[in-house]
Amino acid sequence: MHGLHYVALCATLLCPTPLLAATVFRCEDANGHITFTLQGCSEQQFVKLQIADNPTPGSGKPIPMAKTAKAPRNKARAGRAEPLVVAEQQDGCGNRVTGSARRSAMIKQQIVGGMTRADVESALGRPDKVSSQNGQTRYHYSDQQGNNRQISFDEAGCVKGKR
């Protein structure tokens, strides 16, 4: 008989009974305050029964939380105005180089007038030498083949170039 209790105990622990969904009361008072309870609502509250179901992951078909909106078609967008930019980040150089042109130049290791010192260092790395004269800074770069390159900055720290 002792062995039978052991088998029953093991079966209970290894095969737990599944939890079922519960029905709860959704109580809303005159001020719009909502309370959920298993005990019921008072007479002054509006009552609605709510099924509380929390299925375990992978236990069935997924239930969407909300309907997803379909992307607008190109035809619908054709009549709309372009978005208005309310504010944009100032680079300190008058934003003469746009974001995409800046990224493209940095990838190609090209220096364009209006880039900042940080842009130049991103594109070419730290300079081998830095010199300053009359408020203007120059970055000097040299490669292993003996080629030298220098970039001149104005007083604001922007690459000098055509404006």
Residue-wise pLDDT for 80-111, tens only, equals 667 666 655 666 677 777 778 888 888 888 88
Instruction: Classify residue 115: in a domain, yes or no.
Output: yes
Task: Say if 94 falls within a structural domain.
Answer: no
Give the confidence band of 45 by pLDDT, cuts at 50, 70, 90.
confident
Assigned domain for 145 exists? yes
Ranked by mean pLDDT, the top range of 44-48, 66-70, 77-81 is 44-48
Q: What is the pLDDT of residue 21?
A: 59
- Domain assignment of residue 49, yes or no: yes
Band of pLDDT at residue 122, cut at 50, 70 and 90? confident
Q: Rounded to the nearest 5°, which phi and psi values hold at 139?
A: -100, 135
So what's the pLDDT on residue 46? 82
pLDDT score of 112 more than 50: yes
Give the Å distances, CA to CA, from 65 to 4, 15, 36, 98: 46, 30, 20, 40
Domain membership of residue 158 (yes or no) is: no
Q: Is 163 part of a structural domain of the chain?
A: no
Residue 163 has pLDDT above 50, yes or no: no
Is residue 69 in some structural domain? no
Domain of residue 112: give its range.
99-153
**Averaged pLDDT, 57-62:** 68
Q: What own/partner pairs with CB < 8 Å and gap ≥ 24 does 123-129 have?
A: 124/149, 124/151, 127/151
* Residue 112 parent element (H or E): none
Query: Do the beta carbons of residue 116 and residue 157 sit within 8 Å?
Result: yes
List 26's β-bridge partners, or say none.
36, 48
- Pull the structure tokens for residue 1: 């008989």
Residue with tokens 């309907």: 67
Q: How many domains does the chain have?
A: 2
Output the pLDDT for position 139: 93
Residue 140 has pLDDT above 90, yes or no: yes
